[in-house]
């Protein structure tokens, strides 16, 4: 059974049109992460929540926002997608302990036309 679920799997949006990606988890983990992964590259951390505490990476563009209304759900909002934002967006969760084992969803492939 999928433990980290991302919807939709594929998302097409237009240049400049806001888009929201969603992630849910059944693991009851404290921490939820959003990564951007471009072709043949490593996942790049955008931000993460430790419970309700939001932690933004210094180089994450302001165009990217996130919401975590409760433990199970986390959303990635891209306010004005550009062509360079086309990528795979991965959600992950962890318990927040020292091992920091992260469980990833299958990702949402975003295309920007």
Partner 1 sequence: QQQVKQSPQSLIVQKGGISIINCAYENTAFDYFPWYQQFPGKGPALLIAIRPDVSEKKEGRFTISFNKSAKQFSLHIMDSQPGDSATYFCAVTGGTSYGKLTFGQGTILTVHP
Interface residues with partner 1 (CB under 8 A) are 4, 31, 40-43, 45, 48, 50, 90, 92, 94, 96, 98-107
Distance CA 17, CA 26 (A): 30
CA angle centred on 101, ends 100 and 107, rounded to 5°: 115
Which residues are bridge partners to 43 per DSSP?
none
CB of 55 to partner 1, least distance (A): 8
Instruction: Evaluate whether 87 touches 38 at the Cβ level (below 8 Å).
Output: yes
CB of 44 to partner 1, least distance (A): 8
CB of 98 to partner 1, least distance (A): 7
Distance CA 9, CA 2 (A): 13
Q: Which is nearer to partner 1, 17 or 52 (CB)?
A: 52
Q: Which is nearer to partner 1, 17 or 38 (CB)?
A: 38
Q: Which is nearer to partner 1, 9 or 67 (CB)?
A: 9
């Amino acid at each position: 059974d999928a433990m980290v679920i991302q919807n939709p799997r594929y998302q097409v949006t237009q240049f400049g049109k806001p888009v929201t990606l969603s992630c849910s988890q059944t693991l009851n983990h404290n921490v939820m992460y959003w990564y951007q992964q471009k072709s043949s590259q490593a996942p790049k951390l955008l931000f993460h929540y430790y419970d309700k505490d939001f932690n933004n990476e210094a180089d994450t563009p302001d165009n990217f926002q996130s919401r975590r209304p409760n433990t199970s759900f986390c959303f990635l909002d891209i306010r004005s997608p550009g062509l360079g934002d086309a990528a795979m967006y991965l959600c992950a969760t962890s318990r927040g302990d020292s091992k920091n084992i992260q469980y990833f969803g299958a990702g949402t492939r975003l295309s920007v036309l």
